[in-house]
Amino acid sequence: MRISARSAAPIAIAAVIVALLPLVLPQFIVFDMIFVAAFAIAILGLVVLTGMNGQISLGHGAFLAIGGYTVAIAAHTFGWPYLLSIPLAAVVTGVFGLGFGFVALRLEGAYLALATFSLAVAMPSLLKHFKSITGGFNGVQLDPIAAPGWFTLGSQAWLYYVTWAVLAIVFAATALLVRGRFGRALRALRDNPIAAVSFGIKPAQYKTLAFGWSAVLAGISGAMFSIPTAYLSPDSFAFGLSITLLIGAVIGGIMSFWGAILGAIVVEFLPILAQRINAGAPYVVYGVVLVLVMLFMPDGLVGAVWRLVAWMRRSPSPSPLASTSTPSSVSIVTHQPTRE
Quickly state the pLDDT bin for 69 (edges 50, 70, 90).
Answer: very high
According to the model, what pLDDT value does residue 5 have? 54
Contact 12, 3 (CB under 8 A): no
* pLDDT at res. 335: 41
Pair type for strands 231-232 and 140-141: antiparallel
The 8-class DSSP code of residue 234 comes to G
Residue 310: Cβ within 10 Å count: 9
pLDDT digits 0-9 by tens, 54-66: 888 898 999 999 9
Q: How far is CA 23 from CA 16, 34, 95, 144, 268, in A?
A: 12, 14, 39, 22, 20
| Domain edges within the chain | 24-317
Q: Is the dihedral of CA 62, 68, 73, 78 positive or negative?
A: positive
Rounded Cα–Cα distance for residues 42 and 199 (Å): 31
What pLDDT score does 4 carry? 55
Phi, psi values for residue 278, rounded to 5°: -160, 140
Residue 200, CA distances (Å) to 91, 177, 207 in order: 29, 19, 14
* 335 burial level (CB within 10 Å; 0-12, 13-18, 19+): exposed
Tell me which residue of 261, 217, 245, 222 sits closest to 82, measured CA to CA. Answer: 222
User: What is 24-317's CATH number?
Assistant: 1.10.3470
Torsion of CA 293, 299, 300, 303, to 10 degrees: -130
- The chain-wide mean pLDDT, for the chain, equals 84
Q: Cα separations (Å) of 13 from 9, 124, 307?
A: 6, 40, 19
CA distances from 86 to 68, 93, 113, 166, 216 (A): 9, 11, 28, 9, 10
Of 179 and 316, more confident: 179
Residue 41 and residue 224 in contact, taking contact as beta carbons nearer than 8 Å: yes
For the stretch 29-50, pLDDT in tens is 999 999 999 999 999 999 999 9
Q: In the predicted model, what is the mean pLDDT of residues 272-293?
A: 76
Q: What is the pLDDT of residues 105-153, one digit of tens each?
A: 777 878 888 889 999 999 999 998 888 888 888 888 888 888 888 888 8
Segment 254-267 mean pLDDT: 92
User: CB under 8 Å to 334, separation ≥6 — which residues?
Assistant: none
- The Cα-based distances of 145 to 82, 221, 226, 301 in angstroms read 8, 17, 11, 34
pLDDT digits (tens, 9 = 90+) for 186-232: 999 888 888 988 888 888 889 999 999 999 999 999 999 999 988 88
